[in-house]
Amino acid sequence: MIRVAIIGFGKIAADQHLPAVASDPRFELVGVATPAGDPEVGVPWYGDAAELLAAMDGAADAIAICTPPGARYALAHEALRAGFDVLLEKPPATTLGELDALEALARAQGRVLYTAWHSQYAPSVAPAAAVLACSEIAMLRVSWREDVRKWHPGQEWIWDAGGFGVFDTGINALSILSRILPVPLLVRAASLSVPDNRQAPIAATIEFVGTDWQAEFDWRFDAGEEWLIHITTCDGRRVELRDGGARLLVDGVEQPLDADREYPQIYDRFATLIKARACAVDREPLRIAADAFMVARRESVAAFR
């Protein structure tokens, strides 16, 4: 039995981690830390992460870190040094340097570090990768649009420098692309739309190396959600991942897929890694985001309130 504690108990922990842990017989939840008050999920609650880590000495094996990204590096560092295996919600850190340092620490300490990019477990990802393997890509279009007021209400940190802005969502698309494309994704140019009164972008376009490869992320979309990846190959195949990867169309034909089990699969993988004492650190989605930020042209757009 793997005894796991969760640090950061917001929406993603409550909606996804909690049921995934509960439904996996290899895991037992043994504690949660959040400053927002006891979520009353039947295990000890700590108002402070350091308190939890101290209390879990000998009482937990692994820590899942679900705080906002800015806090993850320091917490993961502390958890690894204290001897815990660590799962990091996406994005796993604020910088590539932090992620490299955590991986080096985990390996030095013989601990497991696992970057859980949940969209990589969307049901379309593995079949899309199989279709695209060995293909040459002719066209790539990503359209990742949603209403930030619906999906990130009250998340002020997301607008700060280092808060990622629309990349907090768009990085899900990048995490899928880095799994399904047969070649690495190289940023040629990017454009960020940054609200007048904020530091992080509310919209972005990225042009990739490739004749006709582009992504568009936009948080100013209030007609539902559009989470779409559309790829055509040089030999004429058309691959569409819709609804964030929940649906797959090949040459216009809807493919039968397994049910969406992103988080159960994340914990399945975490259990496998812990058994094998292996790290799984995927830095590609963060690398693509960093490259986009480095080369991006910025334009100022209407203030966001």
Q: How far apart are CA 220 and CA 304, in angstroms?
A: 10
Position 297 contacts its own copies (CB under 8 A): yes
Position 161 contacts its own copies (CB under 8 A): yes
Residue 112 Cα distances to 47, 60, 93, 109, 296, angstroms: 25, 14, 16, 9, 34
Edge-to-edge strands, sheet with 27-33: 45-46, 27-33, 2-7, 62-65, 85-88, 113-115
Closest CB to its own copies among 208 and 267? Answer: 208
Number of residues that bind its own copies (CB under 8 A): 31
Position 296 contacts its own copies (CB under 8 A): yes
Segment contacting its own copies by CB under 8 A, of 140-148, 223-231, 249-257, 291-299: 291-299
Closest CB to its own copies among 250 and 295? Answer: 295
Position 79 contacts its own copies (CB under 8 A): no
Q: How far is the CB of 69 from its own copies (least distance, A)?
A: 10
Choice among 11, 90, 150, 275 that is catalytic: 90
Position 94 contacts its own copies (CB under 8 A): yes
Q: Taking CB under 8 A as the rule, which mask of x and - marks residues 186-205 in contact with its own copies?
A: xx-xx---x----x------
Strands 203-208 and 187-195, by their bridges, are antiparallel
Position 182 contacts its own copies (CB under 8 A): no
Is residue 275 flagged as an active site residue? no
Position 228 contacts its own copies (CB under 8 A): no
Which single residue is written with the structure tokens 């992080």?
200
The correct pick among 55, 257, 295, 301 for binding its own copies (CB under 8 A) is 295
Closest CB to its own copies among 19 and 182? Answer: 182
Helices and strands (H, E) in the chain, number of each type: 10, 15
Position 281 contacts its own copies (CB under 8 A): no
Q: How far is the CB of 277 from its own copies (least distance, A)?
A: 24
Closest CB to its own copies among 68 and 127? Answer: 68
Helix (H) or strand (E) holding 262: helix 262-276
Position 184 contacts its own copies (CB under 8 A): yes
Q: Of 26, 45, 60, whose CA–CA distance to 269 is shortest?
A: 26
The correct pick among 101, 129, 139, 249 for binding its own copies (CB under 8 A) is 101
The token pair at 250 is 């090949």
Residue 220 Cα distances to 44, 164, 198, 215, angstroms: 40, 15, 15, 15
The token pair at 205 is 């376009």
DSSP, res 295: H
Contact by Cβ (8 Å): 182, 132: yes
Task: Name 230's bridge partners.
Answer: 141, 240
Position 95 contacts its own copies (CB under 8 A): yes
Q: How far is the CB of 100 from its own copies (least distance, A)?
A: 7
- Convert 59-70 to b/e letters by CB count within 10 Å (16 or more is b): ebbbbbbbbbbb
Position 262 contacts its own copies (CB under 8 A): no
User: Using CB under 8 A as the criterion, which residues of the chain lie in contact with its own copies when the complex forms?
Assistant: 73, 94-98, 100-101, 104, 161-162, 184-187, 189-190, 194, 199, 209, 287-291, 293-298
Catalytic positions, please? 90
